Amino acid sequence: MAKKKQKNLQRRKAITGYLFISPFIIGFVAFMIIPLLESLRMSFSNVVVSTGNGGFSMEFVGFDNFIKAFTVDPEFLRMLTEELSRMAINVPATIIISFFMALLLNQEFKARGFVRAIFFLPVILSSGVLVGLEYNNSLLIGLKDYIQKNSNTTEITAVLEEILSNSGLGNRFLETVYAIVNDVYNVVISSGIQIIIFLSGLQTISKSMYESAKIEGCTVWESFWKITLPMVSPVILVNVIYTIIDFFMRTDSEVMTKITETMIAKMDYGFSSAMAWSYFVAVILIIAVFSLITSRWVYYYE
């Protein structure tokens, strides 16, 4: 009887979940799946655009576009490799920073709602309009040029690099730290959603668990490793996947810019589709690897 009730409960939860995601599924099937399959077909074809009636014709060429992307084109493979290298640094940095920010914002203090709103501002600031204002603002560009002309360095870690270069630490480690610190603006800008997701996960942890642990003599540090981290591990998996996708879809991605320029300026739809699908497959493989690694220590509880 108890097993039957549990199955019915799980079925109701599954139905509720499918109802929530049904608008996306309907929209994807109705508006996305046909263009997606058409772009896959283009990636294996030589697309000739007709200037008269605005149509196009496709001639099957097999893997020629993919071979061109990885062996002939001098930029795509380099850009893809550099993007993957930046991802390997930025994604862990974003996850760690957003997690500890969420831990701080989950504490009890005055004006907590206001402070949370401030940390959510990066989500608003990263919207399309404000990003355009930031990159096309003549005042900001003038200030940047002035700093470059009147300063010996343009990086905030230059002095730190000079001090630590002779410290005996590994150069590879220092280069990674420098890259994270120099890119701290972008890391903070892209951490707003992750902070909110971590906050929602932290607020589901019962306070009685911490009280019981305190009575048993656990320190705050032990409670963090034994209670907080295991309980929010499913949220960490969600944030890792979201951060990877968000990183690869950034407006300043060189790969995305090259694909767009090839498609719009050169009207080479076959080659641009091949690069787009290569980029897509690379992202899917990275998500699969990260999910496999992260899911091994994810703790699920009823």
Helix (H) or strand (E) holding 45: strand 45-49
- Phi, psi for 134 (deg, rounded to 5): -65, -45
65, part of any domain:
no
237, part of any domain:
yes
Structure confidence at residue 237 (pLDDT): 85
> Which pLDDT tens digit goes with each residue over 100-141?
888 888 887 777 777 777 767 666 655 544 444 444 555 445
267, part of any domain:
yes
Taking residues 95-100, what's their average pLDDT? 88
DSSP letters, 97-158, are: HHHHHHHHHTS--TTHHHHHHHHHHHHHHTSHHHHHHHHT-HHHHHHHHHHHHHSS-S-TTH
Q: Tell me which range, 58-62, 65-69, 295-299, is most confidently predicted by mean pLDDT.
A: 65-69
Measured between alpha carbons, how far is 54 from 171 in angstroms, rounded to an integer? 55
Structure confidence at residue 168 (pLDDT): 57
> Which pLDDT tens digit goes with each residue over 159-217?
555 555 555 555 666 666 666 666 666 677 777 788 888 888 888 888 888 888 888 88
286, part of any domain:
yes
Residue span of the structural domain in which 15 resides? 1-31
Does residue 220 share a domain with residue 270? yes
Where would I find the H helices in the chain?
A: 2-27, 33-43, 64-67, 76-105, 112-125, 128-135, 138-150, 158-164, 171-182, 184-189, 192-202, 207-215, 220-223, 229-231, 233-248, 254-264, 269-295
117, part of any domain:
no
> Which pLDDT tens digit goes with each residue over 25-45?
888 888 888 888 888 888 898
Does residue 197 share a domain with residue 283? yes
Does residue 286 share a domain with residue 225? yes
Q: What angle do CA 71, 73, 77 make, to 5 degrees?
A: 70
Residue 212 sits in a domain of what CATH number? 1.10.3720.10
Taking residues 89-108, what's their average pLDDT? 85
160, part of any domain:
no
Greater confidence (207 vs 55) lies with 207
Q: What's the number of domains the chain is made of?
A: 2
281, part of any domain:
yes
Any idea which residue has 């203090």 for tokens?
109
Q: What is the mean pLDDT of the chain?
A: 77
Dihedral (CA of 213, 214, 217, 220) sign: positive
Any idea which residue has 């787009």 for tokens?
276
Cα 223 to Cα 46, 110, 219, 295: the distances in Å are: 60, 24, 6, 22
Structure confidence at residue 277 (pLDDT): 92
224, part of any domain:
yes
Does residue 86 share a domain with residue 23? no
- Phi, psi for 183 (deg, rounded to 5): -105, 20
